[in-house]
């Protein structure tokens, strides 16, 4: 059987990895400044993570959600404590799209309404309601287009107010910093205004922290820069450092009933231990502070690079916007300089989403490499 060919692939095959280094099948080492779409949070193959998963799989790797699994409560406890959301409730699933799917469904159950407000350039995943709330018609099939979603520009509170006052909106879903869309973000006034409008109109505010969460922005959650408390927070990516796990954190006023949400694999023993190991390492190695400080260092180093129009993002969720499309630049950086970087919907944006463990020396290597490529291109 052939693979269903939906991914344009780079000609590189990683066979092992440690911390921020990826090694391909020819033994070439790459600096990973992309973390496989912002997934690697504590570094590849972190010894504590490997040990925790190995020890768990030797005991029990999976049982369904029909029996007790105290690892789930341990994870909820630890996540609540580190994120500052200890009064919230945790529902576990397997990916970012699934997290948003459950968040939107829960908002609809809670409010009894059906319409969703989402934002231009937003990305929330590729399944049913999540993809319908994603501003990209190319990945929405006719089936998905049946969902009732209104897209609005960021930072236009009056437009959100007009929609919510119509009374049929169950959820406003927003990324604290847009990932795939290209690192734009709302202002603090906008986020605080959304929080109030949602409260006033019996609409739930969903913060999609799938990419920005788990310390990447330099705070546990990027929305914490705006001192708001969403009704639901969706999480995935860095949560498992590569082990598939996602979840939603749910405000206490939203009450569960049996059967309301559910999944076979969600919250299995291995996934819980992976996420616990991630939190333990984030705490022990102060990775959130590191993300903030290394991000600040990055910002101080890249302004003078030729062709850079704008530097975007926070912590280690960063982007460089050039005055040209960066597809070829990314190829040169990977094949000639051996550094992984990312692209975005905005074709002129180079995205940097490294493990939260990197420091100044990795940034210096990147800046030097980028300079080499840019100067060689100009010559
Ligand atoms: C903000 C955001 N939400 C949701 C998703 C979907 O996550 P997944 O690919 O795990 O379904 C992504 C993936 O890039 C994302 O960036």
* CA 66 to ligand 1 center in whole angstroms: 28
Number of the ligand 1 atom closest to the C-alpha atom of 95: 10
Whose CA is closest to 40, among 238, 222, 219, 315? 238
The whole-number average pLDDT for the span 335-360 is: 97
Q: pLDDT digits over 220-266, tens only? A: 999 999 999 999 999 999 999 999 999 999 999 999 999 999 999 99
Domain with CATH 3.90.1150.10 in the chain: 14-46+286-378
The predicted pLDDT at position 306 comes to: 87
Distance separating alpha carbons of residues 169 and 202, to the nearest angstrom: 8
CATH class, 14-46+286-378 region: alpha beta
Closest residue by Cα to residue 243 from 261, 265, 216: 265
Going from the Cα of 97 to the center of ligand 1, the distance in angstroms, rounded, reads 6
User: Whole-angstrom Cα distance, residue 253 to residue 89?
Assistant: 10
Mutation to probe ligand 1, out of 96, 102, 104, 223 (largest number of atoms < 8 A from CB): 96
226: Cβ contacts below 8 Å, ≥ 6 apart? 176, 186, 188, 191, 192
Class of domain 47-284: alpha beta
Instruction: Give me the pLDDT at residue 378, please.
Output: 72
pLDDT at 106 over 90: yes
Q: Residue 127 CA: which ligand 1 atom is closest?
A: 11
The predicted-structure confidence for 134-160, as pLDDT tens digits, reads as follows: 999 999 999 998 999 999 999 999 999
Left (φ > 0), alpha (ψ -120 to 50) or beta: where does 156 sit?
beta
In the numeric block, which tokens belong to residue 226? Answer: 């705006």
Residue-wise pLDDT for 147-201, tens only, equals 999 999 999 999 999 999 999 999 999 999 999 999 999 999 999 999 999 999 9
Q: Where in the chain is the domain with CATH 3.40.640.10?
A: 47-284
Beta strands in 69-174 (DSSP E): 89-93, 115-119, 149-152, 169-174
**Please, are residues 92 and 72 in contact by the beta-carbon 8 Å criterion?**
yes
36: left (phi over 0), alpha (psi -120 to 50) or beta: left
Distance 124 CA to ligand 1 centre (A): 5
Distance from C-alpha of 75 to C-alpha of 191, rounded to nearest angstrom: 28
133, 237, 317, 344: residue to mutate for ligand 1 pocket, most atoms within 8 A of CB: 237
Whole-number Å distance, alpha carbon 16 to ligand 1 midpoint, is 24
- C-alpha of residue 96 to centroid of ligand 1, in Å: 5
């Amino acid at each position: 059987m052939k693979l269903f060919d939906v991914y344009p692939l780079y000609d590189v095959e990683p066979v092992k990895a440690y911390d921020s280094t990826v090694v391909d099948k020819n033994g070439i080492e790459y600096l990973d400044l992309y973390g496989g779409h912002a997934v690697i949070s504590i570094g590849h193959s972190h010894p504590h993570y490997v040990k925790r998963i190995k020890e768990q799989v030797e005991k029990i790797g999976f049982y369904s959600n029909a029996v007790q699994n105290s690892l789930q409560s341990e994870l909820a406890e630890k996540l609540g404590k580190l994120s500052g959301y200890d009064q919230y409730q945790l529902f576990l699933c397997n990916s970012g799209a699934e997290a948003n799917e459950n968040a939107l469904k829960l908002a609809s159950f809670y409010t009894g309404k059906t319409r969703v407000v989402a934002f231009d350039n937003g990305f929330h995943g590729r399944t049913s309601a999540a993809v319908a709330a994603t501003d990209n018609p190319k990945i929405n099939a006719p089936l998905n287009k049946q969902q009732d979603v209104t897209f609005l520009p960021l930072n236009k509170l009056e437009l959100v107010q007009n929609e919510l006052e119509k009374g049929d909106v169950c959820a406003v879903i927003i990324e604290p910093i847009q990932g795939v869309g290209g690192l734009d973000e709302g202002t603090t006034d906008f986020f605080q205004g959304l929080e109030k409008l949602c409260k006033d109109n019996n609409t739930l505010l969903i913060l999609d922290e799938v990419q920005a969460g788990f310390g990447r922005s330099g705070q546990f959650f990027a929305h914490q820069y705006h001192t708001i408390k969403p009704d639901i927070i969706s999480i995935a990516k860095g949560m498992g450092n590569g082990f598939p796990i996602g979840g939603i954190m749910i405000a206490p006023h939203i009450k569960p009933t049996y059967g309301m949400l559910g999944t076979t694999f969600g919250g299995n023993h291995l996934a819980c231990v992976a996420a616990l190991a991630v939190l333990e390492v984030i705490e022990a190695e102060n990775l959130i502070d590191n993300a903030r400080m290394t991000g600040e260092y990055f910002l101080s180093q890249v302004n003078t690079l030729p062709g850079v129009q704008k530097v975007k993002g926070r912590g280690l969720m960063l982007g460089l916007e050039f005055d040209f499309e960066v597809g070829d630049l990314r190829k040169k950086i990977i094949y000639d300089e051996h550094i992984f970087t990312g692209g975005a919907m905005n074709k002129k944006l180079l995205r940097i989403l490294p493990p939260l463990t990197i420091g100044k020396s990795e940034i210096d290597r990147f800046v030097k490499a980028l300079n080499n490529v840019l100067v060689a291109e100009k010559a």
